[in-house]
Amino acid sequence: MSSPQLPVELTDLVKTHIREVADFPEPGVLFRDITPLLADGPAFRKLIKGLAEHYRGRIDSVAGLESRGFILAAPLAVELEIGMITIRKAGKLPGAVFGVDYALEYGTARMEVHPEIVKDGDRVLIIDDVLATGGTARAAIDLVEHSGGSVEALCMLLELAGLSGRSKLEGYQVDSVVTY
């Protein structure tokens, strides 16, 4: 059984609220800035309501990835009246954590979660602003599953298809609102 596609209206909404910034953070890079979307209250609300309708009844919690994933996860969790799981960079969570190292272009990084926050069997939506190489999203999957949850889907506001991040997420539903 295939999962429903994200509504085209959400894609159009996000596309019309993205600002392109040439040569940021370095020459040759075209940065897609989501701050105009976040600054437009009615548009941001429409995005969150649309995502809520898409995932309603399919998830028990939303896992936001540090840091911009938090901006999307918190209002979505509130709209759905479910909990939010914070998946953070190393050393940001107090107390006992479970962590996963993942590869960067030049080195490694680590993501962590409080494993007791993820309830056994919970259907979790992982959400972030951008899917690039897929390393952060893959680490989040490992954290959720190790903690007892099951990943229902991953939702990315933007996907940079040329970086092949989706290849690290095979076997999982990946919903990208806009793909470049």
CA-CA-CA-CA torsion for 5, 7, 10, 15, nearest 10 degrees?
70
Phi, psi angle pair for 52, to nearest 5°: -60, -45
Give yes or no: 68 in active site.
yes
Task: Residue 55: name the closest of 179, 178, 177 by CA.
Answer: 177
Give yes or no: 105 in active site.
yes
- Per annotation, catalytic residue among 58, 66, 68, 79: 68
Task: Residue 116: name the closest of 146, 142, 152, 89 by CA.
Answer: 146
Catalytic residues: 68, 105
